[in-house]
Amino acid sequence: MKPKILVTEALGPEGLAYLAEHAEVDAYDLLPPELLPEMIGNYDAVIIRSAHRITRELIVGRPRLKVVARAGAGVDNVDLDACTELGIAVINAPGANAIAAAEHAFALLMAVMRNIRLGDIHVREGGWNRQAFLGEELHGRRLGIIGLGRVGRQVARIAHGFRMTVGAYDPYISPEIFEAHGAKQYRDLESLLKDSEILTIHTPKSGPHLDERLLRLLPKGAYVVNAARGGLMDEEALAKLLEEGHLAGVALDVFVHEPPSLDSPLFRQKRVVVTPHLGGSTFEALANVGVMTAKGVIETLNGITPPNLVNVPIPPLEVPELHALDTLCQTLGRLFSELHPTVNHRLVLTAGKLIPKEAIPWLRQSLIASLLQGRLDERVNTVNALIKAEQQGLTLMVNEDPKAAERTALSLMWEGHPETLIEMEWADDAVHLRRLDNVAFDLVWPEVALITRHRDTPGIVGHVGTLLGEFHVNIGNLHLGRRALGEEALMVMTLDDRPPAGLMEALVKIPGMIAAYLLA
């Protein structure tokens, strides 16, 4: 049965078309917010923009809801903590509207520097006094960028086209990123402000708040632009500095309260240009945001980790590598959980040297989720894995093994019990089993696998083959392994199809059979 998705605001035809291919969709240009509480519990996913808030009260007691998506860069109107606790994935669309937001920042900047708004009003009133509206050029100006993320980098690119000098402050970005985008790196915010004739900010809500003291550090005659998040700049301080003549102009697309009060002191200043949060509002950005959001929702509902999952530490990897590691991790977790279900020790995860270090936190959560799925009646997934693990007393530690091989491999075992070690590797676009209960194997992991643990005595393999024949089950490949002659042995069979009911019960009745496991 297809999942049901609720879209509360305009998403764009491309995004809606993608959703409709994979789900039942109820879409609104603008769903009245008061209707959302009574509707949200009937859907597997909900996609919002800016007009709705996803609160704890709204999602508690909605067991069907699996995904909350914000069709935009931020998730300020989503209770991330509550979603994480409840195992609800949160999706957004970072960078999909970066070009639109950067271009809008320059549109605002040029509008205020060239007196576009004032000149427009003047002409409409019958005037033609060109001298009264002399403007200023961007060419050669010192631009300061706070936040050199996706939007900030596009701003730097455009600024170079105007032959501006670019400086930036972002404590979370490496020097190589500054160099690659032709921006002088400032180690502290105050130094950047003192050098910036034009200032623009492109950070999330958690970015620095520019109060009057900081804004006064700007050179006299500076221009200020905020097309990022409301509240990053003190609006009353901006109005005061404009009135004093310290600032030459202010351009805002976002406000602390949206829509802003008409009594705002900024609206009494002529050298102010404002727009109603239009930074990402272009046809192209709407299409990009819609498709990115839609893909993230559908992938999450299908058990695939998308790169735009917010409340999981997704590493900055290319999508094919991300999906490969996701498949490797989930396969290992399911196999280990099936063969070693008892939680009695700490788990030890060891990664091959070709596993990116930045991927380890996410892989750790993904493995825990794979281990706990099926053991608990409540929802458990990568989103709430750490919370559920703590409740179950499960600990997974990462082993920094200097002798780890140069492979894209993961191994897992209970601490102090090397006989439980299972190792898998991603190679040649497939998952390979390398060790099973610390016994060497070498096979491509199949869609349907039958595993037996049995006494190393003659005849058991033949009995198993005969029994599968009686149940009309065809064996594609068969792999045997053991630690030593006469000890416990393991057999992994790849099957063409999922076997019929009754086979597993019959298998464990074979003399010498210890256990049998089916993974499909």
Catalytic residue positions, numbered = 229, 258, 277
CA distance 456 to 460: 8
CA distance 509 to 505: 7
Of the candidates 391, 390, 437, 443, which has an alpha carbon nearest to the alpha carbon of residue 414?
A: 437
Would you call 393 exposed, middle or buried from its count of C-beta atoms within 10 A (0-12, 13-18, 19+)?
Answer: exposed
Read off φ and ψ for residue 439, nearest 5 degrees: -105, 135
Residues 6+ apart with CB under 8 A from 157: 102, 181
Q: Are 54 and 79 in contact (CB under 8 A)?
A: yes
The CA-atom distances, in angstroms, between 430 and each of 325, 328, 359, 446, 512 are 10, 8, 19, 9, 33
Q: Tokens for 386?
A: 């750490």
Q: What's the N-to-C CA distance of the chain in angstroms?
A: 20
Phi-psi region of 355 (alpha: psi -120 to 50; beta: other; left: phi over 0): beta
DSSP string, 311-353: SS---S--HHHHHHHHHHHHHHHHHHHHH-----S-EEEEE-T
Residues 6+ apart with CB under 8 A from 304: 323, 326
CA distance 253 to 274: 6
Q: How many residues in total does the chain contain?
A: 520
User: Which residue in this structure is represented by tokens 């509707």?
Assistant: 39
CA distance 278 to 103: 11
CA distance 471 to 516: 16
Write the DSSP symbol of residue 445. P
CA distance 282 to 98: 11
